[in-house]
DNA sequence: TAGCAAAGCTACTAAATTCATAGCGTCTAG
DNA sequence: CTAGACGCTATGAATTTAGTAGCTTTGCTA
């Protein structure tokens, strides 16, 4: 699977606008989950496998490669870890946690839209 | 495809933590792209198809259903549009645009990691 | 120093998702 | 009527992901 990077054609943009490359990258299974989890600290391949429960090693490996190619994570002595860029991105993602918990959930209580 | 909602088992959380449900929902092809685009204003099914270029009507339709089930978009007389919740979510996504353009791209210039 | 366990994968097949294309039914304008 | 736009559905092929097994290396440790 081709790694989406700014400047090359990606899903949603033939010219590879950075935001579209980013949305393409993050819009793949487990990509955001991995970043979310790594913020708690570096982790090993098997550790991530356990965390993700249902991820296959094939997918985990390609996802890790993509995230490395895009400079969001790197390998350290303690396992995979977020880079500076990865941490910055996490911090942009973080507010979604509170929003999901405190705002989004309300939308399911209104007009009998049960989860 | 099962729509991920808070409170039910989703990818990454057997108990359906809201953030995991959200990451599951957004981690599907075109989901964030649709939200990103709809912020510019309501659009029709065919309009979205054109915008997304390579999306199939099947996928577009299931994605629209999921986003509607999760209260992020709705149908209006002018076509599909973001709900209040959808707009809120967009605003959380928005900073990623600048970050991608002004920060992330730099990571590809360092250490000859060409896009 | 032989054995064992953990880590980081690769290989392979099956299932699920997505794409690509064609076309149906409804509505509105001409 | 007829044509075109719209919102899809149907079908089959291609791509992605899951599931399981197991190889290779490293570091104990007995």
Residues of chain B found within 8 Å of residue A18, distances taken between Cβ atoms: 97, 100-101, 104-105
Contact A33 B53 (CB under 8 A): no
Instruction: Give the CA-to-C1' distance from B74 to C2 in angstroms.
Output: 67
By C-alpha distance, which of B91, B80, B18, B35 is closest to A108?
B18
Q: What is the pLDDT of residues B30-87, one digit of tens each?
A: 999 999 999 999 999 999 999 998 899 999 999 999 999 999 999 999 999 999 999 9
CA dihedral A105, A109, A110, A115 (to 10 degrees): 80
Q: Looking at the domain B18-99, which fold is it?
A: Arc Repressor Mutant, subunit A (1.10.10)
Task: Give chain A's residues under pLDDT 70.
Answer: 111-115
**Inter-chain touch B29–A27, beta carbons under 8 Å:** yes
Q: Tell me the domain boundaries of chain B.
A: 18-99
**CATH number of this structure's domain A18-107:** 1.10.10.10
Strand D: which nucleotides have any atom within 7 A of a protein Cβ? 5-12, 15-22
Residue-level pLDDT at A1: 85
Contacts of A44 (CB under 8 A, 6+ apart): A79, A80
Query: Residue B111: pLDDT above 80?
Result: no
């Amino acid at each position: 699977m081709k790694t989406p990077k700014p400047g090359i054609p990606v899903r949603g943009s033939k010219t590879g606008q950075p935001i579209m490359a980013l949305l393409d990258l993050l819009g793949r299974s487990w990509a955001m989950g991995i970043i979310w989890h790594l913020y708690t600290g570096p982790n090993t391949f098997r550790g991530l496998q356990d965390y993700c429960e249902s991820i296959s090693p094939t997918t985990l490996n390609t996802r890790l490669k993509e995230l490395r190619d895009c400079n969001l994570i790197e390998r350290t002595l303690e396992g995979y870890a977020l880079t500076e860029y990865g941490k910055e991105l996490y911090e942009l993602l973080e507010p979604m946690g509170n929003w999901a918990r405190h705002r989004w959930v309300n939308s399911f209580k209104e007009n009998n839209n049960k989860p």
